[in-house]
Amino acid sequence: MKVDNLTFKGGVHMHGYKELSNQRPITKAKDPSMVYIPLHQHIGAPCECIVAVGDEVKVGQKIGEAKAFVCAPVHSSVSGTVKEITRKLTPTGMMAETVVIENDGLDTLAYESQGKTLENSEPKEIISMVKEAGITGLGGASFPTHVKLSVPEDKKIDFVIINGAECEPYLTADQLSMETMPEKLLLGLALEMKAVNAPKGYVAVETNKPKAIEILRKEAEKHANIEVVSVKAKYPQGDEKRIIDAVVGRQVPSGGLPMDVGCVVSNVSSAIAIYNAVYENKPLYERIVTMTGHGIKEPQNLLVKNGTPLTELIEQAGGFVGNPGKVIMGGPMMGMAQTTLETAAIKGLGGLLILTEEEACTGDTTDCIKCGKCVSVCPVNLEPISIHKLALKERFEEAGSIYHALDCVECGSCSFICPAKRPLVESIRLAKREIRSLKQKS
Ligand code: SF4
Ligand code: SF4
């Protein structure tokens, strides 16, 4: 296999624990008897509810309409009856208007293919289909994809990069998708390239997924303008700006966007969802979720319907091993710890990680020993310890103006490496929030 081993400066090497689930095939999760679908699952404005209690709905039927540009519609994942419209907590910790639907088990579809393909669809049509399908960034950010593809006229896009790094430990949904759906993934990428008029596409995969690289390279032989490159297995290789740097050697400026350097970066599952939207007219109402960690009995990759209760997913993965120490939506580095399991799957749920009590106990925080490790691993060249000290003294303005706290991508590498177990990323996150609020006031 040709090894490019492209990378960036900084970052950390860690045990990936991918072996817990990366040999387990994607299996369809059991159909839930009731789904709880929030109408706000993305960055931007919430959707407006367009169904009422008692309505009959079908699989893929729109139940939440996007009234704002930065918003993505929401669709039913089952066929059945709307039982309740209420406010419920989502795994992101946010309260959202939620449509509760009783599943009739018939799986009656609300959509069928319109015969659209890469060849017969126009750029504006692709963007419109992406919007109608409710596609968002499925790597965790949940930014509406049609907004990302709506490039202003004064910007030129040279490259679309599929982020196949999946550098967060434990998560394997992207790896399985790359290995089993290479055709859909590359057609999804080609559709994105057409939408933004980009002449070249890349799929960047970490070297620890040789099977995915091999399969994708074979598939890429059908596409003259798509190249599959291997990037070094290092965290946070999958950060948008780091992957651009590694693959095309361009640096997104502080406060800038990938499109400022001619790039659009897309997640693996999002590109496959784009294929589904165009070729099958299928909205985004299900996704692959990695159920993993030493705190769950049977780690695996499940195809999960939006709105499925988390408790049902845990049950299907064999239940907890003893008492769980921590349940995290996503990976251990950038994921969100759950305070309750009374929530349901959303578009942004790519994994559910269950740590044991022993793993969740990180040990006591001690004084900084000035080892400088946090500085050497920071992929953005920040001084995490300096920002941390200023944040503790509530000197947020200086943390921003002198130490550029807002450039932190919250990757957590500094906290991970710190021998004194200082809560660096937590304090930097706080500093960023305070700096933004100070800016709004001034
Ligand atoms: S300061 Fe921010 S970007 Fe740098 S290592 Fe820490 S969390 Fe990552
Ligand atoms: S890694 Fe931890 S102990 Fe070392 S300088 Fe940074 S904060 Fe201090």
Q: What pTM was computed for the model?
A: 0.94
**Does ligand 1 lie within 6 Å of residue 412's CB atom?**
yes
The residue written with tokens 């609020």 in the block is 437
Its sign, for the CA torsion 234, 240, 241, 243, is positive
pLDDT at position 1 over 70: no
Give the whole-angstrom CA distance, residue 185 versus residue 195. Answer: 15
CA 361, CA 377: separation in Å to the nearest integer?
23
Alpha-carbon distance 360 to 326, whole Å?
Answer: 6
The rounded distance, in Å, linking the Cα atoms of 100 and 81 is 9
- Tell the residue number behind the tokens 């994607």, with chain if given: 26
Probe target for ligand 1 pocket from 376, 410, 415, 435, with the most ligand atoms within 8 Å of CB: 410
Ligand that comes closest to the CA of residue 334: 1
Structure tokens at 190: 């080609």
Atom of ligand 2 nearest to the CA of 369: 3
Mutate to test the pocket of ligand 1, among 12, 245, 413, 417 (most ligand atoms within 8 A of CB): 413
95 lines ligand 2 (CB under 6 A): no
**Token pair recorded at residue 370:** 């000035």
Residue with tokens 């789904």: 35
Atom of ligand 2 nearest to the CA of 370: 5
For atom 2 of ligand 2, the residue with the nearest CA is 418
Ligand 2 midpoint to CA 413 (Å): 12
Confidence class of residue 363 from pLDDT cuts 50, 70 and 90?
Answer: confident
Q: Which candidate, 328, 355, 356, 358, places its Cα nearest to that of 341?
A: 328
Share of the chain above pLDDT 90, in %: 93
Give the pLDDT confidence score for residue 8 in this predicted structure. Answer: 83
Cβ of 371 below 6 Å from ligand 2:
yes
Asked: is 114-279 a CATH 3.40.50.11540 domain? The reply is yes
Total Cβ atoms within 10 A of residue 263: 24
SS3 at position 10: coil
The reply to whether ligand 2 has any atom less than 6 angstroms from the CB of 374 is yes
236 Cα nearest atom in ligand 1: 8
Three-state secondary structure of 219-260: HHCCCCCEEEEEECCCECCCCHHHHHHHHHCCCCCCCCCHHH
Mutational test site, ligand 2, from 370, 383, 389, max ligand atoms within 8 Å of CB: 370
- Check whether 2 has a pLDDT greater than 80: no
Closest residue by CA, ligand 1 atom 8 = 411
Spacing of C-alpha 36 from chain mean position: 20
Give, using CA atoms, the residue closest to atom 5 of ligand 1: 378
Tell me: the pLDDT tens digits for 167-177?
999 999 999 99
| Residue recorded with tokens 């700096």 | 435
Q: Which ligand is nearest to the CA of 385?
A: 2
Element (H, E) at 419: none
Dihedrals phi, psi of 349, to nearest 5 degrees:
-85, 100
Q: Map residue 269 onto helix, strand or coil.
A: helix
In this model, does residue 419 exceed pLDDT 90?
A: yes
Nearest-angstrom CA–CA distance, 7 and 234: 8
Strand partners, 37: 99
pLDDT value at 140 more than 90? no
Percent with pLDDT over 70 in the chain: 99
pLDDT of residue 5: 73
Distance CA 306, CA 86 (A): 16
Query: 37 falls in which pLDDT band (50, 70, 90)?
Result: very high
3-state DSSP helix/strand/coil % of the chain, to nearest 5: 30, 20, 45
Helix 210-220 and helix 173-180: axis angle, to 10°?
Answer: 40
295: DSSP letter: T
Measured in Å, residue 370 CA sits from the centre of ligand 1 at 17
User: What does the mean pLDDT of the chain come to?
Assistant: 95
- Per residue in 235-258, pLDDT (tens digit) is 999 999 999 999 999 999 988 999
Q: Is 87 helix (H, G, I), strand (E, B) or coil?
A: strand
Domain boundaries, the chain: 114-279, 373-441
